[in-house]
Amino acid sequence: RFVLDIKGICYILAKRTLTGMRMTRAIVLLSGGMDSLVTAAIAARECDELYLLHFSYGQRTESKEKWCFRQIASHYKSREARVVDYRWLAEIGGSALTDKDMSLSEDNGVPNTYVPFRNATMLCAAIAWAEVIEADSIYIGAVEEDSSGYPDCRESFFEAMNDVIKQGTLAANISIKTPVLHHSKSEIVQLGHSLNAPFELSWSCYFAEDQACGDCPSCQLRLKAFANSGTKDPIPYKVR
């Protein structure tokens, strides 16, 4: 079976060379959370080459997220994995994810864990890199249903960003893909299991890095998702 698989891969590569087909390249925005993990698994299935992009923006679990990013990048054998320093997002403040002095609260139904215009600024960096490496697509694991009302997780926002690419890049043919946008968290867990995504390498907790707190909104959404899917979350928790 192993020999047959190798022959199959060689056949595909040879066919691409002979027909002039180019290897499909994708950039995946990978935070280290379960949504971006499953998105990376989807991209790995759909594309030939993966380029992974992570952002350090002063989030409280920055070290843990970066460790998860490196482990997931190794798991999927990404062609390249880059970490971008976006600490200025913490410097300008405005989010409980970056400001340890802020306690959790809501404003008009949107929790203050929202980082102002974060997805847009991150996508801009990904678009620039995509132009350089001639990537076909940019994958982002945004989820509209469980987005807590974040405005930059809406389908209309990503449609607008695709228009920005057409208007503001030389390539103009890069597409932003949101494969889990309309999935529930439990559906994402089920999809991840079907793709053998390594959930043990992901992290969702907003505040803790050794054991997930189990209390923050992100932990609660994750625990509920695994419970609804009938599977056990493999990461450690202080409270389940």
Mean per-residue pLDDT, 177-201: 97
Q: How confident is the model at residue 98 (pLDDT cuts 50, 70, 90)?
A: confident
pTM over 0.95: no
Which residue would you say has higher pLDDT here, 9 or 31? 31
Query: Which run of H or E residues covers position 56?
Result: strand 49-56
Q: Is the pLDDT of residue 52 over 50?
A: yes
* E strands present in 154-230: 175-177
Q: What does the buried/exposed string (b/e) look like for 168-186 if buried means 16 or more CB atoms within 10 Å of the residue's CB? A: eeeeeebebbbbbbebbbb
Chain centre to alpha carbon of residue 158:
14
Sign of CA dihedral 81, 90, 161, 149: positive
- The tokens 């066919």 sit on which residue? 15
- In this structure, what are the phi and psi dihedrals at residue 123, rounded to the nearest 5 degrees? -65, -35
Mean pLDDT across 54-73: 96
The per-residue pLDDT of the chain, averaged, comes to: 90
Residue 200 DSSP label? G
Reported as a pLDDT band with limits 50, 70 and 90, residue 3 is very low
pLDDT the model gives residue 19: 40
pLDDT band of residue 66 (cuts 50, 70, 90) is very high
Q: What is the chain's length? A: 240
Average pLDDT of the segment spanning 29-35: 98
Res 20: pLDDT = 56
Q: Which of 54, 91, 103 is nearest to 216 (CA)?
A: 103
Instruction: Note the pLDDT tens digit of each residue in 100-116.
Output: 888 888 877 788 888 88
